[in-house]
Amino acid sequence: MTHTPRRQFIKQGLLGTAGATIASLGTSAKSYAAIQGANDRINLAVIGVRNQGTVHLNAWCGLKDSHNVAVRTVCDVDERLWAPAVSLVSGKSGITPTTQWDLRKVFEDKTIDAVSIVVPNHWHALAMIWAVQAGKHVYVEKPASHNIWEGRRMIEAARKYDRFVQVGLNNRSGIAVREAIAFLHGGGIGKLYMARALCFKARDSYGVAKEGPTPAEFHYDMWVGPAAWQPYAEKRTHYNWHWYWNTGNGDTGNTGPHQLDIARWGLRKDEHPVTVYSAGGIYGFRTDDATQTPGRRVYGDVEAYGHDRTTQETPNTQTATYKYADGTLLEMETRGRYTNHEGSQGQEVGNLFFGEDGWLEISGGTWRAFKGRSREPIAGSKPDTPDGNHWANFIEALRANRKAELHADIHEGHLSTSLCHLANISYRTEQALRFDGAKEQFVGAPAADALLRRPAYRQGFEVPSQV
């Protein structure tokens, strides 16, 4: 793919005075109308329109009037998803998008300015690299990459082709979360020495991946893409791909990136940790087929089967401890079975920070801080605090031509995503590991180094060493 010229919608006048004007006005929707050249429509393609892809479609359509955004193409390898996606966009925006199953055709379309990548993890890096090489700006879902080596190639590609790349770490744009981080960075609970990331999601068995015929409307070869080839099995594709190392990263790499990102952000660590140790396993499921529980639909619109046997590979229970060069600790815990909660109000998915003078908790769009042993909060979010909009931040930074205004640039996404990968590598090798962040290699651990990247990519779907 070749690097096409910068899109016309970022005009020369916007690069100077207009960009400064946007910054001074806080990049509100009303400010755009006052800036010459800033109102050119941004045409988007959403690649991957199932589940989280639907969230993206709604988000972009919601910016149609305030930010002059149009979803022009919906792309998915499963043609059965096209009709509901087109209906959603048409109903929300009045625009009927075109459809495509081959993302390469989307990148060739010179009318598309930016793409929203909502495909399985194993496709994130290659899709993003191809997109920026074609001159597109990119919003890519978390985790940024499927492995650490790919994440570094993504940074290199974004910088080489001078594209805006936002990672879907939505908490970075959450107003209450940003308030909490500012409170921490302002010394609200003293010097921080530890953060704890929580991912407590009780999940039933997703069952056994039995191979079978590929649906006629499903372009399975394209779905596999860079991953190792395996025969089609429904329980290894839609949403279930999370639980297999070939395509996913488990819950530590699914919900975990959000909490690990907040933890690293709060600790002000713009670096990799120097050590990691992770342990866990798959607990709570039967090991035979003696009992077959009737399936029930769960999140992801897939069936789950109580305590039945599963061919899931990734752990449903996992702990990890990271240490940074200055001794600061970061802990992560994933619990996929029934559990107690943590924090003052029963956090299931969230963060805890510990400082010399107290502690702070973040749960969704709320936060509370406590001093010493007091059970009464000294500070916290207000009930009427509005949500932030991560998609809007991407558009606003793009219009201002200021990459520094991205709340989750690919560099941030890579560092936080790497925490997930480091934990999984320690878990898979059953080793406490030392990590050389400058080289992004382990120290004296060849088995761990082998998991820093995929051993091989399928022909035609290689993530390039030189972007």
What domains sit in the chain, N to C, each tagged with a CATH number?
Answer: 12-173+390-409 (3.40.50.720), 175-384+416-449 (3.30.360.10)
HEC assignment per residue over 48-114: CCCCHHHHHHHHHHHCHHHHCEEEEEEECCEHHHHHHHHHHHHHHHCCCCEEECCHHHHHHCCCCCE
User: Left if phi > 0, otherwise alpha if psi is -120 to 50, otherwise beta: which for 125?
Assistant: alpha
Collect all residues with Cβ–Cβ distance below 8 Å to 84 and sequence separation of at least 6.
Answer: none
Return the SS3 of 128: helix
CA distance 251 to 335: 9
Q: Determine the pLDDT at residue 32.
A: 36
What integer pLDDT is reported at residue 39 of this predicted model?
A: 58
Cα–Cα distance for residue pair 237/23, rounded to 1 Å: 43
Q: What is the pTM of this model?
A: 0.91
Mean pLDDT by 10 residues, the chain (467 residues): 39 31 32 43 98 98 97 98 98 98 98 98 98 98 98 98 98 98 98 97 95 97 98 97 98 97 98 98 91 91 95 98 98 95 88 98 95 96 93 97 98 98 98 98 98 97 97
Q: Is 210 exposed, middle or buried (0-12, 13-18, 19+ CB in 10 A)?
A: exposed
Task: Give the residue from 340, 333, 341, 338 showing the smallest Cα distance to 427.
Answer: 333
C-alpha to C-alpha distances, 134 to 40, 151, 157, 226, 420, nearest whole angstrom: 20, 19, 11, 19, 29
State residue 336's pLDDT score. Answer: 95
Cα 368 from chain centroid (whole Å):
25
DSSP run (H or E) holding 154: helix 148-160
Provide CB contacts within 8 A for 438, sequence distance 6+: none
Sign of CA dihedral 90, 94, 100, 101: negative
Alpha-carbon radius of gyration of the chain:
22
Q: Which tens digit of pLDDT belongs to each residue from 110-138?
A: 999 999 999 999 999 999 999 999 999 99
Decide: 309 and 206 in contact? Cβ < 8 Å: no
